[in-house]
Structure 1
């Protein structure tokens, strides 16, 4: 069993890789090789030292011969340019998201045409495939049967890739599964170029004792999923057997991952409840029309029927999301905001 994770050293890629290394099996079959492919491999990356891991560095389109040097059984495609990057640089988005995915699909097709295994491919799409078109507003609750009308280059690129994967699957070139990710919050680490990045930043930065800007009106409602739930869903979709019935991946439709619907005001109120006034007051609301227009075009409420059939559920509350972040990243949190520096193990957060 040889599994490839593209974007393997990105935020989600690292977590998917860590889960696979922890179990060392896929559908009960031992993993012989876990290939982590990424443009940049950070120094000191722990997974690199594991004998099960093979690292492929560089632009994916230039490294496909290396990726497919041996048969690929499972391919988890997480590598992508993010939303605001794609709006700022059209060619970057088209190259990183559309052209790279097409090249990956062609390499998978060549493998199966040569008598190799038909790769199981999981593609991380996005809630950004939806948008409220003036001629066709979104319904109050969105499902997989809702017509996607993206309002961003990123959303268009993801939607085109979804259709390509559906056709390659129909033709038998791959066994494709598409997971439409909600905005993942709270992401650790440095801010990224995603338009939705502030939905992590308004929690992550204050918890670290740093100021943060909220670029949207507080009453804006958004659809979120924690890192834990997102990684769980990606792997559940990957491991699900084909067919009808609960726990199986049926048909070719994408799966909208379960979403917790919450307003930005509720997120900030949760931060105040969990961490106190001194932390919450580090957030300044300063609406940015461009960010608000882009993020505000995405739906906030979803029908979870298809995801629930796979055994997936949304986070129970935003307070649970914040508590997970505190538990998973204690070194990124200022234990007592009045101390002015990180003090792991000191101070106390409110329950």
Structure 2
């Protein structure tokens, strides 16, 4: 099996790659090649030396011939421009998100038309496809049957791509499936340009001994998923069979990955409870109406029934999310001023 992951060196890409390299199988078949396609390849990316891994570096739109030089069995499309980038630069978002996705789908279609395998395409969409339109306010709890009315360029681009995946699947060009991702928190590494980036930053930076800005009202409710749960959801949807039984993907609707609903105040209270006052006091409230307008337009409460039918569950609590982050990334946490001489998440982290 030859698997291609676009955005393979991005945050989620690396997480998915690590999971696949640990498993060495997908859909019950051995992975023969794992192709990581990305515009940038970090110099320290040791994963590139794994014998299963091939690297395709450069603009995705320009490297499709190289990606499809051999048959692609599974394509996990994670590469995209993020929310604030798309709002600031309309043409960038249209090119990186919409045009590139259509080009990928056309390349996959050409492969099957030429007698090759019909690729299984997993598209990473977003909760940003939803928004509260004045003529159609969001219901208190959102499901896949809720009409998406995005209120940002990023959300609109993701929604159009969802429809393209559905149409290419209906026509038999690809076997497409769409995972709508919740905001992922806590992301490791450096901040990115996503409007929702602060939902990781207000935890990640204080734990690292750095100040952080919270640009929204503490009472804002948000839907979150940990990196662990997000990767689990992506791979589950990639492997799901077609049908109506347990663990089967029925119909052509996207799947909203399971959501944990919390307020920003609850996130900050959790940080204070788990890591102490010195850490939590590194967060400063500084409202940014533009950020709150984008993030506040997204729904916060979801009916997880469709994901549950696939065996997926939301995170148990935000405290479990914070403790998992510390367990997975002890090198990113400054232990000196944590409670119990650096004990957190059931372990020491000095």
TM-score interval w.r.t. the shorter chain?
A: over 0.9
Report the secondary structure of 1:34's partner residue. strand
State whether residues 2 and 31 of structure 1, in contact with CA within 8 Å, keep that contact through their aligned partners in structure 2.
Answer: yes
Alignment root-mean-square deviation, CA: 1.3
Ranges in structure 2 where 5+ consecutive residues have no aligned partner: none
Question: Residue 350 of structure 1: CA displacement?
Answer: 7.3
State whether residues 7 and 38 of structure 2, in contact with CA within 8 Å, keep that contact through their aligned partners in structure 1.
Answer: yes
1:117 and 2:117 are equivalent in the alignment: yes
Provide the residue aligned with 2:258 in structure 1. 258
Write the distance in 2 (CA, Å) between the matches of 1:237 and 1:294.
27
Write the distance in 2 (CA, Å) between the matches of 1:303 and 1:160.
23
Report the secondary structure of 1:125's partner residue. strand
1:347 and 2:342 are equivalent in the alignment: yes
Ranges in structure 1 where 5+ consecutive residues have no aligned partner: 339-344
Provide the residue aligned with 1:242 in structure 2. 242
State whether residues 247 and 309 of structure 2, in contact with CA within 8 Å, keep that contact through their aligned partners in structure 1.
Answer: yes
State whether residues 259 and 302 of structure 2, in contact with CA within 8 Å, keep that contact through their aligned partners in structure 1.
Answer: yes
1:14-25 to 2 correspondence within 5 Å?
A: 14-25=14-25
Report the secondary structure of 1:63's partner residue. helix
1:188 and 2:188 are equivalent in the alignment: yes
1:313 and 2:313 are equivalent in the alignment: yes
Write the distance in 2 (CA, Å) between the matches of 1:55 and 1:117.
22
Write the distance in 2 (CA, Å) between the matches of 1:332 and 1:26.
31
- CA shift digits 1:248-275 (9 cap, x unpaired): 1111000000000000000000000000
1:38 and 2:33 are equivalent in the alignment: no
Aligned pairs, number: 346
Report the secondary structure of 1:322's partner residue. helix
- CA shift digits 1:26-63 (9 cap, x unpaired): 12211110000000000121210001000000000000
Question: Residue 346 of structure 1: CA displacement?
Answer: 6.1
Write the distance in 1 (CA, Å) between the matches of 2:276 and 2:91.
44
Provide the residue aligned with 2:152 in structure 1. 152
Report the secondary structure of 2:315's partner residue. coil
Write the distance in 2 (CA, Å) between the matches of 1:238 and 1:77.
11
State whether residues 336 and 348 of structure 1, in contact with CA within 8 Å, keep that contact through their aligned partners in structure 2.
Answer: no
State whether residues 273 and 350 of structure 1, in contact with CA within 8 Å, keep that contact through their aligned partners in structure 2.
Answer: no
Write the distance in 1 (CA, Å) between the matches of 2:341 and 2:112.
56
State whether residues 271 and 280 of structure 1, in contact with CA within 8 Å, keep that contact through their aligned partners in structure 2.
Answer: yes
1:199-210 to 2 correspondence within 5 Å?
A: 199-210=199-210
- TM, length-normalised to structure 1: 0.97
Residues 328 and 350 of structure 1: CA distance in aligned 2, closer, same or farther (over 3 Å): closer
Report the secondary structure of 1:124's partner residue. strand
Question: Residue 309 of structure 1: CA displacement?
Answer: 0.4
State whether residues 3 and 74 of structure 1, in contact with CA within 8 Å, keep that contact through their aligned partners in structure 2.
Answer: yes
Question: Residue 347 of structure 1: CA displacement?
Answer: 2.2
